Structure 1
Amino acid sequence: MVSTALQPVTLSEFMQLHNIEESPAWELLNGQVLQKPMPTFYHSLLQKYLVRAIDNANSVYEAFPELRCILSQNSVVPDITIIHHSRIPLGNQPIQGAPDWIIEILSIDQSVTKLISKIQACLAEGTQLGWLIDIQEEVIMVFVPNQPLLLARADMALTVLDEIALQLTPNQVFGWLKR
């Protein structure tokens, strides 16, 4: 990630910047302006298959890649944002508030600490579930409010939102990369 601000920036100041929607997107996290790294092929492939799997579960939730969410003090663009149908904006607007479920896919040049911080910021504002996928280690870190971190590996059933009829394991997820 690239950081541009030496002094903390407020959410209002960040939202006035002209380049935040450039590709890759810019985020504001804890007063720091950060640009997301360009995704790798494996990153994009996991994003594609996860969005498809979540949307094919035919629930009241929908998955979106790279959708901006405006929190109380931060502006984040999760790799995958899952939100209830009732929260989908009517116009071409960002999501107001934290996603219901956030999925981040760790890229080689990303900071695990910054991604965990992003997930924790979302959990503090109402996110019900967070995944941090580490392709190199073949582990999915599962974050649930007020519960210890779960390191899901191999054939462990992954936690999903209650209203989503989706059964996945890390082996299935990482299997998508071995086509």
Structure 2
Amino acid sequence: MPQSVARMSLAEFLAQPKIEASPAWELIDGRVVQKTMPTLFHSRLQRNLVNYINYRTDKFEAVQELRCIVPPYSPVPDIAIIAGHRLGDEDEPFNGAPDWLIEIRSPDQSTLDLQNKILHCLINGTQLAWLIDITRQQIWVWQGDNLPIVFAGVDLLPSLDILPEITVDAVMKMTSRK
């Protein structure tokens, strides 16, 4: 389970050493929390989904574990999908909320904590968010100001119109070696 070690401001947090250690540290609602170490299926899904998205669009880039600065938070989404023109040429955290955010829930992660992070990003410009629950074979989807919708099985997922039609089942199959 992630360990919360302190409460601090965003400026204090960003000045801390080793916040990029693996797994990364996040600042969520003033709490410093270390992300959960991913499992095999989580890691495969993350890699395969990033590759799937990047192969199908030139307008956006999907990036694993990219630190975002969304004051007063500093989340590190499992996958951040950002319009290419919003990404800079410097090797630094992304300043802003990603256009599309994907979190993959680990068995010992709090769904409420993940939803809190997602809602903060939605309030600050994220257009689409997926919360993938491998164990339950479901994907919670937030779009704009709408309440989340839970997708499963052959349900087609929204994707900012950058992907061909993809189902929950197809996403879940990405937990396999490819």
Corresponding residue number in structure 1 for 2:80: 81
Corresponding residue number in structure 2 for 1:27: 26
For 2:56 and 2:118, how far apart are their aligned partners in 1? 23
Q: Are residues 1:98 and 2:82 paired?
A: no
Corresponding residue number in structure 1 for 2:58: 59
Structure 1 residue ranges (4+ consecutive) displaced by more than 2 angstroms after TM superposition: 176-179
Secondary structure in structure 1 of the residue aligned to 2:71: coil
For 1:10 and 1:132, how far apart are their aligned partners in 2? 26
Q: Are residues 1:150 and 2:149 paired?
A: yes
Query: Among the aligned pairs, what percent are the same residue?
Result: 44
How far 1:56 sits from its partner (Å)? 1.1
Q: 2:42 touches 2:175 (CA, 8 Å); kept in 1?
A: no
For 1:140 and 1:38, how far apart are their aligned partners in 2? 20
Corresponding residue number in structure 1 for 2:134: 135
Q: Are residues 1:174 and 2:175 paired?
A: no
For 2:46 and 2:163, how far apart are their aligned partners in 1? 19
How far 1:146 sits from its partner (Å)? 1.4
Q: Deviations over 1:82-122 (max 9, x none)?
A: 00001112111110000000000000111110000000010
- Could you say what the CA RMSD is over the residues aligned between the two structures, in angstroms? 1.1
Secondary structure in structure 2 of the residue aligned to 1:43: helix
Q: Are residues 1:4 and 2:5 paired?
A: yes
- Structure 2 spans left out of the alignment, 5+ residues: none
For 2:165 and 2:61, how far apart are their aligned partners in 1? 16
For 1:94 and 1:178, how far apart are their aligned partners in 2? 30
For 1:64 and 1:33, how far apart are their aligned partners in 2? 22
The residue type paired with residue 86 of structure 1 is H
The residue type paired with residue 10 of structure 1 is S
Corresponding residue number in structure 2 for 1:70: 69
Aligned residues: 176
How far 1:124 sits from its partner (Å)? 0.6
- Structure 1 spans left out of the alignment, 5+ residues: none
Q: Deviations over 1:55-74 (max 9, x none)?
A: 11123001000000001211
